[in-house]
Amino acid sequence: MGEPLRLAVLVSGKGSNLVAIVGAAERGDLQATVVVVISDRPEAGAIPWAQSKGICTEILPPQGLDRPAYAERLQQLLDRHRPDLIVLAGFMRILDAGFTERWSGRVLNIHPSLLPALTGLHTHRRALEAGLDHHGCTVHFVTGELDGGPPVIQASLAVQPGEDEASLSARVQALEHRIFPEAIGWFAEGRLEMKAGSAWLDGQRLESPVMREES
């Protein structure tokens, strides 16, 4: 068995997906190790949690930096920690196009909708307002197009009658915690890659993302 995949996890909030990823690695379900957690927000709850696990943390606030300058500072941090893959786990900043091109095929994001539906923010509220009968989440490679990179895996659930935003968010988040470590695991095993603008799994181009249903 080779060396574990080196992960840099970028966060802006409490880091529930970070917790799921680290948990999968600790159980042996994911051959990866988080070498650094980077946040744009000093108050992010993920930071003290990561520190409690002995994981190196970095704070990179955006104040006074435009997008290219922020990307350059971020790159300097990443150079220090040498990750194989960048994982965006609730990171609320848009990355510079030059940065995403430099890291092409080595950045995965989790988005709380069934892309291409509901790109951007407040997806659970918008799903309810639109009266959607199904909702979910998507892991995708990151490109210069916001929430537009090739999708890898999705998880779907049925929206319940009378469901509110908080309930729907919690149910979708549980799905995120299942499929994000799964996708990272495929990458760690050399099964997943991005080439020619598409996601490829086990040597086959994914015409549509792998689908998981709520269990």
Single out the catalytic residue among 111, 124, 135, 140. 111
108 sits in which H/E element? strand 107-111
CB atoms within 10 A of CB 53: 14
CA distance 182 to 155: 11
With beta carbons less than 8 A apart as the criterion, state whether 4 and 32 touch: yes
Read off the tokens for 46. 């993920």
* 135 CB-side CA count, 13 A: 30
Q: Catalytic annotation on 122?
A: no
Query: b/e per residue, 160-183, with b = 16+ CB within 10 A?
Result: eeebeeeebbebbbbbbbbbbbbb
**Residues facing 57 on adjacent strands:** 37
Catalytic residues: 111
